[in-house]
Amino acid sequence: MFDKILIANRGEIALRVIRAAREMGVRTVAVHSTADADAMHVRMADESVCIGPPSSTDSYLSVPAIIAACEITGAQAIHPGYGFLSENAAFVQILEDHGITFIGPTAEHIRIMGDKITAKETMRNLGVPCVPGSDGGVPDAATARRVAGEIGYPVIVKATAGGGGRGMKLAKSEAEIERAFQTARTEAKAAFGNDEVYIEKYLGAPRHIEIQVFGDGKGGAVHLGERDCSLQRRHQKVFEEAPGPTIDAETRARIGKVCADAVASINYAGAGTIEFLYENGEFYFIEMNTRLQVEHPVTEAIFGVDLVREQIRVAEGLPMSFTQDDLVVNGHAIEIRINAEKLPNFSPCPGKITQYHVPGGLGVRMDSALYDGYSIPPYYDSLIGKLIVHGRDRAEALSRLQRALGELIVDGVDTTVPLFHALLQEPDIIAGNYNIHWLERWLEENL
């Protein structure tokens, strides 16, 4: 058993991990930048270590500082949360070399899935259906033109090192391919230091459906159904639900088994998410995330499991605490992401929280690191809270969300809460009738 783990993250996800560890009797070490000295994760952990100045590069992304914090405190393992170093294969390799346990998959699995071209190739070989596209990287504009012609327009040019919805460019016709190719490459180079791009068929009206998988690292794996994350702005999720409103039990079991079998066959360890676009009853793999997702609580709600506890158990070498047969869908859950952003431009809005009131009652969970008087620093992402509701069915979850939103008070900064008040009035949202383009169109018309 671990006596002590270090959490290489901040904000709500750091609290999420501290809570799971505390329930397991595992002590926790928080790390923080100088800008986060008063942050909730520092207050809640058993110990804390300041690892650098505000800039993430010099603190939450500083591998030497984090390893030193482990050595000073005697932490035996690191939970990376999401973002920051969670999908950094070089970091995981260094931990492996130092005898510190990484609570997550191996460096090798992170490396394979972190490169989207290799990830697609691996998944295709494991029998997972993929979006039609270039088989591998596209080196120059002439090849891009030829490959796109073969796939058929529209196509999307994507960065193989991509993430966070960046480095993707649409080409509707041959006239646009050269520009899309060059722009995607330039953006990929700037954002990820790697200008390799590939081309995929652009799907016109798909839903984003992702499958939660969990492996024991020894050839055993299960799936925990799907999440529908189609409500997106700039390819970033804002509202997620489980189960997916368009996925029936038979479809869930079928695609879930394909995914669980795929990760089992590579001895995958811990939590992972296999992302698909879903159109006309067909699944098309786009990428795999080798970490806990922001939206994992909706899965926890409908299956009644603690995914972080499970991650820690498997990292300790223990077996998973559930089998596929134990995992039965119960009701419906919805998560909304509350950002400190000013509408209509979604510009970041850091500042001091003057009043904070958390909703409660049956089926309501608020994951947030806010408190009265807290000052949101300007250096990090703008997610300040996740409101998750669980009901017996989708209708109950929706009315519970509306009720809980009415109780929530976050004063002092602008937030995306008004967006959700408006969305919950929309007949399409109430009916579950939306795809990955719905929100962009709605924002153009309504904000």
Instruction: Select from 159-167, 259-267, 342-350, 383-391 the region that touches ligand ADP (CB under 6 A).
Output: 159-167
How far apart CA 82 and CA 59 sit, in angstroms, is 15
200 binds ligand ADP (CB under 6 A): yes
Instruction: Select from 163-171, 255-263, 301-309, 312-320 the region that touches ligand ADP (CB under 6 A).
Output: 163-171
Residue 211's DSSP bridge partners are 226, 274
C-alpha distances (whole Å) from 288 to each of 104, 245, 316 are: 14, 22, 23
**Residue among 125, 275, 112 nearest 207 (CA):** 275
Copy the structure tokens of residue 340. Answer: 């400190």
152 binds ligand ADP (CB under 6 A): no
The minimum distance between CB 90 and ligand ADP, in angstroms, equals 19
Residue with Cβ nearer ligand ADP (162 or 215): 162
The minimum distance between CB 156 and ligand ADP, in angstroms, equals 5
129 binds ligand ADP (CB under 6 A): no
64, 149, 164, 378: which one contacts ligand ADP (CB under 6 A)?
164
The minimum distance between CB 436 and ligand ADP, in angstroms, equals 4
Alpha-carbon dihedral of residues 366, 368, 372, 375, nearest 10 degrees? -160
- Interface mask (CB under 6 A) for ligand ADP, residues 7-36, using x and -? ------------------------------
For residue 130, the SS3 value is strand
287, 295, 310, 335: which one contacts ligand ADP (CB under 6 A)?
287
Backbone angles phi, psi at 182, to 5 degrees: -65, -45
- Interface mask (CB under 6 A) for ligand ADP, residues 236-275, using x and -? ---------------------------------------x
Residue with Cβ nearer ligand ADP (79 or 120): 120
434 φψ region: left (φ > 0), alpha (ψ -120 to 50), beta (else): beta
The minimum distance between CB 28 and ligand ADP, in angstroms, equals 29
Residue 33's DSSP bridge partners are 52
17, 67, 171, 286: which one contacts ligand ADP (CB under 6 A)?
286
235, 257, 342, 403: which one contacts ligand ADP (CB under 6 A)?
235
Burial of 406 (C-beta count, 10 Å sphere; 0-12/13-18/19+): exposed
Number of residues interacting with ligand ADP: please give it, by CB under 6 A: 19
276 binds ligand ADP (CB under 6 A): no
105, 114, 162, 220: which one contacts ligand ADP (CB under 6 A)?
162
Residue 228's DSSP bridge partners are 209, 241
Burial of 22 (C-beta count, 10 Å sphere; 0-12/13-18/19+): middle
Taking each helix axis from N to C end, the angle separating 11-23 and 307-315, rounded to the nearest 10 degrees, works out to: 70
Give the residue numbers marked as catalytic: 291
Residue 376's DSSP bridge partners are 351
Residue with Cβ nearer ligand ADP (96 or 275): 275
232, 311, 368, 416: which one contacts ligand ADP (CB under 6 A)?
232
Residues 416-445 close enough to bind ligand ADP by CB under 6 A: 436
Residue with Cβ nearer ligand ADP (291 or 365): 291
320 φψ region: left (φ > 0), alpha (ψ -120 to 50), beta (else): beta
Maximum alpha-carbon separation in the chain: 61
75, 78, 117, 156: which one contacts ligand ADP (CB under 6 A)?
156
208 binds ligand ADP (CB under 6 A): yes
The minimum distance between CB 307 and ligand ADP, in angstroms, equals 20
87 binds ligand ADP (CB under 6 A): no
67, 117, 171, 203: which one contacts ligand ADP (CB under 6 A)?
203
202, 268, 356, 374: which one contacts ligand ADP (CB under 6 A)?
202
C-alpha distances (whole Å) from 400 to each of 227, 334, 364, 405 are: 19, 10, 8, 8
How far apart CA 7 and CA 15 sit, in angstroms, is 9
233 binds ligand ADP (CB under 6 A): no
* Total Cβ atoms within 10 A of residue 84: 19
**Residue among 294, 303, 302 nearest 275 (CA):** 294
The site for ligand ADP (CB under 6 A) is made up of 131, 156, 162-165, 168, 200-203, 208, 232, 235, 275, 277, 286-287, 436
